[in-house]
């Protein structure tokens, strides 16, 4: 992990009083703080700049076969979203195998391989036809999940945050600018554990496209530059244990690998 890239302390962090009245995206008056809170950024491939991550949105059950394996009827469900905290990000450098800690509290820790869209513009009520204009670039990531906790909370009709939104639950690669990759409407997405294929699908099988996700999200939340969207995982999610190596691939992006430790 390259700490320089996402543990930079910046002037964005101010005192509580100032934060309370500040508008996102509006320059804030500098003030002394009793401690620093790291700004979360990701490298941008081919650039000296880094991508500041504002929020992590994730869509649920966005591939038909995965929706069925999770117990839903994909023909009747509108898209739904959840968030992970921004500091759940674990940046994974291309060509390395990052150590990923097996989290506490779970006995059923699952991988979910996903395309990630990164926004460079914000807005509300964005039409689908214009939604891709808001994309800055793309990456690939893992929506790591404490499945037993997610399921238990769902069964009890409680928030499933503890199953999804924990520390380091969002391994992700660097951001590739749109000009380097184009948009991802098709192409293979796969995930291997210890060299054995576990997930394999095509991005064209998404129920809700990236454009539709941006549009729907912008109806519920005002989006801002720096927001990133995990676009859902295909079927055949499954467990990993300590010592397993996960490798994931999306056509047009370098592979991402982590070792569970």
Write out the residues near Mn ion by the rule CB under 5 A: 112, 143, 233
Minimum CB distance to Mn ion smaller for 50 or for 240? 240
CB-based contact 214:133 (threshold 8 Å): no
Pick the closest to residue 150 from 160, 142, 140 (CA basis): 160
Helix (H) or strand (E) holding 240, with range, is: strand 238-240
Q: Which pair of structure tokens corresponds to residue 78?
A: 């509108």
Which residue, judged by CB position, is nearest to Mn ion in the bound state? Answer: 143
Minimum CB distance to Mn ion smaller for 44 or for 201? 201
Q: What's the count of helices (H) and strands (E) in the chain, helices before strands? A: 8, 18
Minimum CB distance to Mn ion smaller for 44 or for 141? 141
Minimum CB distance to Mn ion smaller for 169 or for 233? 233
What minimum distance in Å lies between the beta carbon of 2 and Mn ion? 25
Q: What is the DSSP letter of 156?
A: T
Minimum CB distance to Mn ion smaller for 7 or for 221? 221
What minimum distance in Å lies between the beta carbon of 118 and Mn ion? 16
What minimum distance in Å lies between the beta carbon of 33 and Mn ion? 34
What minimum distance in Å lies between the beta carbon of 130 and Mn ion? 25
What minimum distance in Å lies between the beta carbon of 122 and Mn ion? 23
CA distances, 109 to each of 59, 103, 141 (Å) = 19, 8, 16
Residues in the chain: 261
**H helical segments located in the chain:** 3-6, 16-21, 64-69, 128-131, 147-155, 161-164, 178-181, 210-220
């Amino acid at each position: 992990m390259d700490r320089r890239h996402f543990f930079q302390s910046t002037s964005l962090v101010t005192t509580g009083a100032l934060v309370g009245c500040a508008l996102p995206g509006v320059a804030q008056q500098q003030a002394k703080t009793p401690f620093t809170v790291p700004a979360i950024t990701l490298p941008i491939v081919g650039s000296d700049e880094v991508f500041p991550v504002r929020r992590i949105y994730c869509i649920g059950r966005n591939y038909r076969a995965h929706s069925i394996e999770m117990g839903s009827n994909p023909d009747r469900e509108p898209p739904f979203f959840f968030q992970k905290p921004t500091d759940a990000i674990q940046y994974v450098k291309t060509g390395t195998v990052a150590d990923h800690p097996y989290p506490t509290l779970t006995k059923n820790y699952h991988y979910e391989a996903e395309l990630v869209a990164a926004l460079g513009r914000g807005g509300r009520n964005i039409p689908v036809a214009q939604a891709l204009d808001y994309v800055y670039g793309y990456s690939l990531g893992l929506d790591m999940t404490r499945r037993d906790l997610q399921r238990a909370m769902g069964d009890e009709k409680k928030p499933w945050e503890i199953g999804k939104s924990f520390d380091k639950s969002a391994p992700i690669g660097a951001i590739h600018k749109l000009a380097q990759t184009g948009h991802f409407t098709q192409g293979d997405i796969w995930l291997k554990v210890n060299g054995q294929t576990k997930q394999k699908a095509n991005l064209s099988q998404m129920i809700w496209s990236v454009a539709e996700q941006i549009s729907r999200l912008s109806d519920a939340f005002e989006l801002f530059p720096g927001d990133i969207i995990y676009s859902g995982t295909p079927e055949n999610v499954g467990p990993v244990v300590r010592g397993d190596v996960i490798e994931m691939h999306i056509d047009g992006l370098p592979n991402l690998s982590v070792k569970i430790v």
